[in-house]
């Protein structure tokens, strides 16, 4: 860990419990090491956590979130944070998605990336097929979905894998076709679409609520 003198004083209690070497560096060095314009003065070298999709599915999740080609780090981090907040078992970033340990993605997750398993897989098809084999229904959020979120709400208490596409084009037709159902969010206001974070928030909240009510019954 690399720490400025000012940060060492400010975070003295935190650093007292650190079991790795701590090196004092200049403000200039800390700024060069950090990705932010105004770094806090703490920089650590860490090993990324490796999570396998097989291990996630072995735990029999009831809510799984699959992000497909989520290229914008802020949206990926927000998706991880939303998934954590709504009680999802894990997040799977597939296709050409951003690295979950990208600095902007980490900050957007607000720490949730360290609290919920995040797996990376090159193939959305593989992720969906594996989830289906474990008994999860797969739902694809799509602006042109053949059913609405209202239509599928009665089925949301079942184990579910939600698929969300990237910012520019959403899910491709090929990927969306892998799902059991393609679901659109009713938008009476007439907006053309929602970004992935907003769409995920609506879908995951309703799914979490349905599963919570089912568990209480």
Give the pLDDT band of residue 77 (cuts 50, 70, 90): very high
In what helix (H) or strand (E) does residue 119 lie, and over which residues does it extend?
strand 118-121
Domains and CATH numbers, the chain: 2-43 (no CATH), 53-216 (3.40.1280.10)
HSE value, Cβ hemisphere, 13 Å, CA-based, for 204 = 29
pLDDT of residue 112: 96
Which residue's structure tokens are 């184990």?
159
169 pLDDT more than 90 = no
Torsion of CA 39, 42, 48, 53, to 10 degrees: -70
217 pLDDT more than 80 = no
Burial track 137-146 (b if 16+ CB lie within 10 A, e otherwise): bbbbbbeebe
pLDDT per residue over 83-122, tens digit each?
A: 999 999 999 999 889 999 988 999 999 999 999 999 999 9
Name the β-bridge partners of 182.
140
167 pLDDT more than 80 = no
Burial track 22-42 (b if 16+ CB lie within 10 A, e otherwise): eeebeeeebbeebeeeebebb
Does the pTM surpass 0.85? The reply is yes
Give the pLDDT band of residue 190 (cuts 50, 70, 90): confident
Among residues 134, 158, 183, 165, which one has the least CA distance to residue 65?
165
């Amino acid at each position: 860990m690399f720490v400025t003198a000012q940060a060492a004083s400010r975070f003295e209690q935190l650093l007292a419990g650190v079991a790795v070497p701590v090196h004092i560096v200049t403000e200039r060095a800390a700024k060069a090491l950090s990705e932010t314009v105004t770094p806090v003065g703490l920089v650590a070298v860490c090993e990324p956590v490796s999570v396998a999709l097989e291990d996630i599915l072995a735990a029999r999740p009831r809510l799984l979130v699959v992000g497909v080609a989520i290229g914008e780090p802020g949206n990926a981090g927000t998706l991880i944070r939303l998934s954590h907040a709504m009680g999802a078992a894990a997040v799977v970033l597939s296709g050409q998605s951003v690295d979950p340990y990208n600095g902007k993605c980490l900050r957007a997750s607000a720490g949730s990336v360290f609290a919920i398993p995040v797996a990376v897989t090159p193939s959305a098809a593989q992720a969906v097929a594996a989830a289906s084999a474990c008994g999860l229904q797969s739902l694809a959020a799509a602006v042109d979905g053949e059913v609405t979120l209202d239509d599928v709400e009665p089925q949301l208490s079942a184990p579910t894998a939600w698929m969300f596409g990237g910012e520019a084009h959403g899910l491709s037709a090929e990927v969306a076709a892998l799902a059991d159902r393609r679901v659109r969010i009713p938008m009476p206001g007439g907006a053309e679409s929602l970004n992935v974070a907003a769409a995920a928030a609506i879908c995951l909240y309703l799914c979490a609520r349905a599963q919570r009510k089912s568990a209480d019954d």
